[in-house]
Chain A
């Protein structure tokens, strides 16, 4: 049992920290968020150069072969910087699917490009009726000669606009909420029959609605076996996003702590008021619990026992949801009017934490899932 970082992991952490410090001043981020594509291609190239895009990908396909802990280290620092590049969509999830389900040819063709920053991926899974159930899939894929033809609607697809290919869950058989009969497909973003509506999200990212009408798709992984694949990769994504949340929470906790020490009202720093001290302690406690669960899930995400794994994932997501909510809300509250401003970074972290709860199922969803396991 050991919760300390290895030397390489520490080096990785340092280098991501440096990047965030240099490139992610709040003002720079604000510009990125307002830009055309919503992030920086230069940053993406830099991430490729620093080996971060290759980090979790296998060595035989141009990757570095890092594990969940490496991704965690990186994502935590990304969380501290509120990084907007599509790392989660493209590398953690996209790369995750290719590794877990891709054929030899797909891996050989796509993974090196992913690692080199020459290609990006996105993952389309949510539908209007599905809420957080990955297996509630109505999009249809019909056999069409050698390939498949996809039709239907996908909602809130993160970073779809800038992805070269999109991984789409669609039904090849079964009823609309059956776990069996879902297949994952790779589609090209410029496919005929695909129309996209792009928009910004409330936490500064980009997403799209996809309308597919006979879009050509290539299966990724076994036909009909998409559910298991999604469970695996989305589990990894949740482990990674927990780390991002921990980074966000720590920044809020530290900032608020500092603020209370400097903001004077009634002739004393706010930090002298016991209610506020205790509120800070509770925030600190939430951060520490969240961090503990983040370590837990990242260390257990490779567990052979599927139930163990699923429990770890859902438990962590519940904790992150609860802690993120508390830390976010209280940070705003303790900053008073300043906490309400767009100018201060506090609100941006709060918004990100709020939306992280929604990602891949909110705490209600995962609590229920945990209870059912």
Chain B
């Protein structure tokens, strides 16, 4: 047992540090620091910088343009990314459909899709959920009927994050009604430009346009855009959900949030002193910091297992549960730290190019939306209740 990093790893850490220090655009860092949403062109700009360095996809194998780093290096990389105000990775391409394509896709699919995910040129969104199928995803009803060398897709997907910005969507569709529900589902990649696709905005609790209801009317999708076999889509989706859960541990992002919380609490006043000097507030911060530390070490234990070639089972759901709970605690404490200035709510303040003086301290405006939107974290990616069901069944055998 040891925690020590090798000299090589330490040198690597310095390399990443100096790279980011040098290359992270100041305007992007400032948006992240203030908790403002980072726009698509900015994310693409940053992704391009990483791509040019060969670091676009830390988790991918080298042959597909990944780094081939071991678990330790990936951890170090994430850690350093979090030390700086780097934007969060948009997961749909890099963390979700990318790995799925290189694992289950055809050569042609790999060639067609992977490079543009790496460069950030093409954006993806996830089309799983439907109005009637949320936690019970397998009950989905969006139909795909084979017609020559095309599937004709009809139905409604919902909660599609970033569908309004996406070039492509990966979807689960029903191709058969026979057997168990899970056995009639296929996995399709669909060009968002195809006629018949209509994403309509859903405004979220924080007032922003994050996700969409997407209607499919006679949408023609070439058969070659199916991943793997027909009616085996559920298997691929399950594989991907595992991936999603691990990336959802959010250790790095939560470290960023904790740092921001401390900065804010350091500047806020209470009783004539800094709020961080208020014993009971300081205790609350310490309490979530302790939770974050144990969460981080749990994550490290899983990484080490993985690195040693022992695949992790359903325990990985623990990371999703804890990671999202911690995120929510952090955003909630941040609101608490702001006092009255959590209340002013002017969406425009969050957009690029807002150059009026801020209402209250400049860090305030973004926090309430962050808090509100963080409520989603325990719902998406398989709600935390569903994660508990999974652990109860798969790990505890209940």
Contact = CB atoms under 8 A, between A and B. Distances in A.
Contact between chain A and chain B defined by CB under 8 Å: yes
Contacts of B286: 318, 367-368, 370-371
Q: How large is the interface on B (under 10, 10 to 19, 20 to 34, 35 or more residues)?
A: 35 or more
Contacts of A372: 282
B108 interface: no
B360 to A, nearest CB: 26
A368 B392 contact: no
B1 A289 contact: no
Nearest to B387: A281
Nearest to A299: B3
B191 to A, nearest CB: 41
Interface stretch (B39-47, B81-89, B298-306): B298-306
A285 B322 contact: yes
A319 interface: yes
B321 A292 contact: no
B268 interface: no
B293 A315 contact: yes
Contact of A292 (B297, B391, B398): B297
B287 A318 contact: yes
B295 A368 contact: no
A331 to B, nearest CB: 14
A261 B289 contact: no
Nearest to B295: A289
A88 to B, nearest CB: 21
A293 B4 CA distance: 16
B336 to A, nearest CB: 16
A3 B391 CA distance: 22
Contact of A295 (B282, B295, B301, B307): B301
Contact of A280 (B2, B290, B293, B392): B392
Given A1-B300, A292-B294, A315-B290, A299 B398 contact: no
B389 interface: yes
Contacts of A293: 293-294, 297
B3 A1 contact: yes
Contacts, number: 120
B318 A288 contact: yes
A367 to B, nearest CB: 5
Contacts of B308: 2, 4
Interface in B272-303: 279, 282-283, 285-287, 289-291, 293-295, 297-298, 300-301, 303
Given A5-B1, A315-B293, A289 B287 contact: no
Contact of B283 (A6, A257, A260, A368): A368
Which of B4, B287, B297, B397 has the most chain A CB atoms closer than 10 A to its own CB?
B297
Given A1-B72, A284-B391, A371 B297 contact: no
Interface string A287-306: 01111110110111000000
B304 A3 contact: yes
A103 interface: no
16 contacts: A1-B3, A1-B300, A2-B1, A4-B308, A6-B1, A261-B398, A274-B389, A278-B388, A278-B389, A292-B295, A293-B297, A296-B297, A299-B2, A315-B289, A315-B294, A367-B283
